Structure 1
Amino acid sequence: MALAFDEFGRPFIILKEQEQKTRLRGLDAQKANISAGKAVARILRTSLGPKGMDKILQSPDGDVTITNDGATILEQMDVDNQIAKLMVELSRSQDYEIGDGTTGVVVLAGALLEQAERLLERGIHPIRVAEGYESASRIAVEHLERVAHKFEFGPSNLEPLVQTCMTTLSSKMCVQLIPFCDTSWNHEPNAVNRCKRSLAEIAVKAVLSVADLERKDVNLDLIKVEGKVGGKLEDTELIYGILVDKDMSHPQMPKQIENAKIAILTCPFEPPKPKTKHKVDIDTVEKFQTLRKQEQQYFDDMVQKCKDVGATLVICQWGFDDEANHLLMHRNLPAVRWVGGVELELIAIATGGRIVPRFQELTPEKLGKAGLVREKSFGTTKDRMLYIEHCANSRAVTIFIRGGNKMIIEETKRSLHDALCVARNLICNNSIVYGGGSAEISSSIAVEAAADRYPGVEQYAIRAFADALDSVPMALAENSGLQPIETLSAVKSLQIKENNPHLGIDCNDIGTNDMREQNVFETLTGKQQQILLATQVVKMILKIDDVISPSAY
């Protein structure tokens, strides 16, 4: 693209290979961009809330994913349009920062774009719309601070954390698919909610196990999530230790070791190999016997070093051949081979051991300690896994998911990731707002009331922002099979009449609109982040007034 001037000094743009490009300018460009953003939001709108629908996505190599997680849907969609890609990035940034609310943030951005389109058609300049949206987002975020509640929690009072995680899990496919569950839970009225509660409790206990409550910091890398096809979803368990998808290297090695002292090695059980090219000529039997004895001596020394420092279990990153395996079994030293680097690090953190790169550096102080190491087999298959439990440092934990098929396990992993992120956010900032669209309706009323204080054209944009906030509760009502406009109007008028910001959409048809009674919570940081991120992306889209793209063939 180049800028040139005609004989009267008027500038014009010369496009290179312009016959192969298409160009949109001004209002047409803005409408095309808004249309692309709205199309993405429309796809996710039906997935919002506890009664949201699921999407089935097929990858080019035939893998099928069934999910209603906004970030996953957009991640796996093949999006070409640049504005649609911005919406995908929006969902991804919400996922990275908060972990939950990935669908809601895209729905809100789509509604803001829809309202902006109407304002642009009336002749309001896009910059004034963007400024109005910025002012409205500040009003909404400040209002959420005012209506938020703080709650105290601790090892003896986990209920607020569990209830918030249950709100997150309520829209997930994994808890909607369970037809029957263990009836030992008496907190909730039906079987699905009982299973939802058990998953929420697992998530909360896992986060508290790795949390540093004094610094208000949580390292989610210490929580490993493993899945195995087979069993029921309610067989999902939390292991205070590490689960390794490996078995003992020899079938005759003991399957259970108590008070294990673990040597964690990244060096292989085999003779050293020179780095240079080499050739060994063996022309007599004696030379072969000498070489064999030397090799055997290497294996002997390696095993003896492990025995001398007091190790009762060897976990090795690399493999070892049959001779070393036989020798380990013969010397009563159980071993596990081909363990991945990430798993080795978690085992070292959990057991308090050190990863040893050379046998010469092995000392008793570098051994990890675990109360129980056991091998467990599953069903009629020969699948076996290694449980490392009662570790010296229980700050590394594993959530072990069971399920009827691979798709349910993958969706449960995504759901638990959201629940873990929500629990982490609450530990970092223990402020909550109430869900069911109540926060959006309350913010919408506050923004609408504040619009009168702005004398300029921005007040139209501020009122449009208030209308866009209403789209989230309206989508919730629509997805729950309720009359959307009628339901939203009733709840909104009730909020204004009673001055109660906790009234929302009764998606589960419990009989009350008060979200405090329904125990539907959401994190304050997650809700504020939704509003701020959606506003930023919409401002960016509104400021684009010229689109030059390759023409379609």
Structure 2
Amino acid sequence: MAMSVPLPPGFASMLKDGAKHYQGLDEAVYRNIEACKELAKTTRSAFGPNGMNKIVINHIEKLFVTSDTATILSELEVQHPAAKLLVLASQQQEKECGDGTNLVLILAGALLEEAEELLRMGLSPTEVIEGYEKAMDKALEYLGELKGNPVQNLRDETEVARAVNTSVCSKQYGYEDFLSELIAKACISSLPADKMHFNVDHVRICKILGSSLLSSEVCKGMVFKRETETTRDEAVNAKVAVYSCPIELLSTETKGTVLINNAEELKSFSKGEENAIEQRIKDIVDSGVEVVVAGGKVHELALHYLNLNNILVVRVPSKFDLRRVARVTKSTILTQLVRPSPEDIGFINSCYLTEIGETNCVVMKQTDEDSKIATIIIRGSTDSLMDDVERAIDDGVNTFKALTRDASSVPGAGAAEISLALKLQKHAETCPGMEQYSIKKFADALEAVPKALAENCGVKSAEVLSQLYAAHQAGGFSTGVDIESELPSVTDTNKPSAPSGGDSVSSLAPIRDSYYVKWWALKFATKAACTVLQVDQIIMAKPAGGPKAKGPQGDNDDD
């Protein structure tokens, strides 16, 4: 009789061969914490103005050189289920605030690291989670006490530039003054009457290779890296018609055959088509339109008549950009080549073809105060540099959006975290139950932010922390890490720093973080850490069969 191998006892006996199953503290919880700690450690060195860049090569071999955590995580394909929970939390922070993704990862990683010590001491995961949730509620309450210095007027460029300065500084240290003024100008010009309806998509970015970053500028309107279709290359105070269709006669849905017997019939056949297109163009000209924006190609015959009538034509293939052009010019998008009614026609102050660097660009500019859309033209020596500047500007614009939700700020450079840690440590001593240990560990985890800032500056974090605690105990709740000193030292974040060059107003900005961003970061980090601690089993089904994935030499873009 053949010997049969018995199935292993327990839960694994119910699963298909090839399935994976982990359970208990050692197999599941500690493994999850270890994976999350490694992920947080990876992005921690990219935190702050002196953060290091990462080189990320994605699945289609595109190269990214950046310290922006949102970009790093979106291009990495994290497989570990627990680490994925942290990635999801940081992505949610990106959707909600547009900034603070690294802060979420660092805090969540530190919370899990501290939780591991509590678990090894004998506390149960449930007790740790309860303590963390109570600590989070108290931390958010104390954070509200720290907030202040609200932006009084969201249409004041100087105030806005100072408010977004710290956010931009963490990505482009040294250029923060110049970039924050560009961002302030662009955001204010596209800010609608109701500030709550501000849309980050209304601040566009056009990257043009060449020159230096300091040659970047803001244009109230749209900039396209293309040439005009017709010979006319400038129009001032002109009427605009926007078409989402190609400028040509529509072809029939079914195929047809035309029998032509002689040359006269051929001439009359093509003449009919010419007359039809000429009539369409004449209708557009009669409506007073001087600029036509087309969503599709322009037929050669139509181009001939457009040139004859001295019409400026710009082709915009993107339907999203077409909508923005319609918003800038206050016109209606027409889906067919028909005569535009007075209600459909828009207006543009100036539309012209220009050369920026060695790139031909069409600029559609509105000179009135409320231009609806603003474009920041970024100049730079390499594509990689301009991509990184674009991410910094994106963070600045999102910080402005956060200001429209809550214009208050809290002390930056790790000052808010140390202040919260001190208050939570005092609060923990008043708690009678086991949760006091979790609240103390929550306070210790908050030290990770100033510690990361100090380590990335190359100074001893232990010395900086002791100086911070001493200053905060003495009542200096706005004291943060001094990133410019070569020795471990602290500085008052509320005091304006000396101008770094020229008479820039934003260089006098205090180091303050957005209250709205910090509030959500604390909430998402704690919830993510608690979710990871709640997991006591990992059950992974056997992967589906199918052809093996191609190797690095494969020609498939999905490798």
Could you tell me the TM-score, scaled by structure 2's length? Answer: 0.89
The answer on 1:281 being equivalent to 2:281 is no
Q: Distance in 1 between matches of 2:101 and 2:372?
A: 29
Match of 2:76 in 1: 77
- Written as runs of structure 1 = structure 2, the 5 A alignment for 1:236-247 is 236-247=216-227
The answer on 1:419 being equivalent to 2:396 is yes
User: Partner amino acid for 2:53?
Assistant: D
Match of 2:513 in 1: 522
The answer on 1:224 being equivalent to 2:221 is no
Q: Distance in 2 between matches of 1:20 and 1:242?
A: 56
User: Partner amino acid for 1:83?
Assistant: A
Match of 1:59 in 2: 58
The answer on 1:120 being equivalent to 2:141 is no
Helix, strand or coil at the partner of 1:513: strand
Q: Per-residue deviation at 1:91?
A: 1.4
- Written as runs of structure 1 = structure 2, the 5 A alignment for 1:46-195 is 46-154=45-153, 157-172=156-171, 175-176=172-173, 192=174, 195=175
The answer on 1:430 being equivalent to 2:419 is no
Q: Distance in 1 between matches of 2:245 and 2:114?
A: 62
Question: 1:71·1:88 contact (CA, 8 Å) conserved in 2?
Answer: no
Cα distance change, pair 156–117 in 1 and its aligned pair in 2 (3 A): closer
Match of 1:183 in 2: none
Match of 1:20 in 2: 18
The answer on 1:501 being equivalent to 2:477 is yes
Helix, strand or coil at the partner of 1:360: coil
Cα distance change, pair 122–156 in 1 and its aligned pair in 2 (3 A): closer
Q: Per-residue deviation at 1:385?
A: 1.0
Q: Per-residue deviation at 1:428?
A: 2.0
Q: Per-residue deviation at 1:224?
A: 1.4
> How many residue pairs align between the two structures?
519
The answer on 1:308 being equivalent to 2:286 is yes
Q: Distance in 1 between matches of 2:33 and 2:51?
A: 24
- Written as runs of structure 1 = structure 2, the 5 A alignment for 1:296-375 is 296-375=274-353
Match of 1:487 in 2: 464
User: Partner amino acid for 1:509?
Assistant: S
Cα distance change, pair 242–130 in 1 and its aligned pair in 2 (3 A): same
Q: Per-residue deviation at 1:303?
A: 1.0
The answer on 1:472 being equivalent to 2:449 is yes
User: Partner amino acid for 2:528?
Assistant: V
Q: Per-residue deviation at 1:13?
A: 3.4
Match of 1:209 in 2: 189
Q: Distance in 2 between matches of 1:387 and 1:495?
A: 52
Q: Distance in 2 between matches of 1:20 and 1:427?
A: 52
Match of 1:187 in 2: none
Helix, strand or coil at the partner of 1:366: coil
Match of 1:233 in 2: 213
Question: Which piece of structure 1 moves more, 208-217 or 526-535?
Answer: 208-217
Name stretches of at least 5 consecutive residues in structure 2 with no aligned partner.
1-8, 498-509, 549-559
Question: 1:318·1:338 contact (CA, 8 Å) conserved in 2?
Answer: yes
Match of 1:4 in 2: none
Cα distance change, pair 158–315 in 1 and its aligned pair in 2 (3 A): closer
Q: Distance in 2 between matches of 1:217 and 1:319?
A: 34
Q: Per-residue deviation at 1:531?
A: 0.8
The answer on 1:197 being equivalent to 2:177 is yes
Cα distance change, pair 100–156 in 1 and its aligned pair in 2 (3 A): closer
User: % of aligned pairs identical?
Assistant: 29
Cα distance change, pair 52–371 in 1 and its aligned pair in 2 (3 A): same
Cα distance change, pair 408–146 in 1 and its aligned pair in 2 (3 A): same
Helix, strand or coil at the partner of 1:433: strand
Question: Which piece of structure 1 moves more, 301-310 or 56-65?
Answer: 56-65
The answer on 1:407 being equivalent to 2:384 is yes
Match of 2:506 in 1: none
Helix, strand or coil at the partner of 1:376: strand
Aligned match for 1:396, one of 373, 379, 404: 373
Question: 1:350·1:391 contact (CA, 8 Å) conserved in 2?
Answer: no
Q: Distance in 2 between matches of 1:532 and 1:62?
A: 35
Q: Per-residue deviation at 1:289?
A: 1.0
Aligned match for 1:378, one of 356, 378, 387: 356
Q: Per-residue deviation at 1:215?
A: 4.7
Q: Per-residue deviation at 1:16?
A: 4.3
Cα distance change, pair 512–544 in 1 and its aligned pair in 2 (3 A): closer
Q: Distance in 2 between matches of 1:60 and 1:214?
A: 42
Q: Per-residue deviation at 1:543?
A: 0.6
Question: Which piece of structure 1 moves more, 528-537 or 350-359?
Answer: 350-359
Helix, strand or coil at the partner of 2:257: coil
Match of 1:182 in 2: none
User: Partner amino acid for 2:209?
Assistant: V
Name stretches of at least 5 consecutive residues in structure 1 with no aligned partner.
1-10, 177-191
Match of 1:184 in 2: none
Question: Which piece of structure 1 moves more, 67-76 or 507-516?
Answer: 507-516
Q: Per-residue deviation at 1:431?
A: 1.0
Could you tell me the TM-score, scaled by structure 1's length? Answer: 0.90
Q: Per-residue deviation at 1:277?
A: 2.9
Helix, strand or coil at the partner of 1:162: helix
Helix, strand or coil at the partner of 1:358: coil
Deviation per CA, 1:258-280: give whole Å up to 9, x if none: 11111111232222211123222
Q: Distance in 2 between matches of 1:551 and 1:241?
A: 54
Q: Distance in 2 between matches of 1:359 and 1:157?
A: 43
Deviation per CA, 1:183-233: give whole Å up to 9, x if none: xxxxxxxxx3xx321210111122222224655441122221111112211
The answer on 1:460 being equivalent to 2:437 is yes
Q: Distance in 2 between matches of 1:18 and 1:486?
A: 55
Question: Which piece of structure 1 moves more, 142-151 or 37-46?
Answer: 142-151
Cα distance change, pair 514–338 in 1 and its aligned pair in 2 (3 A): closer
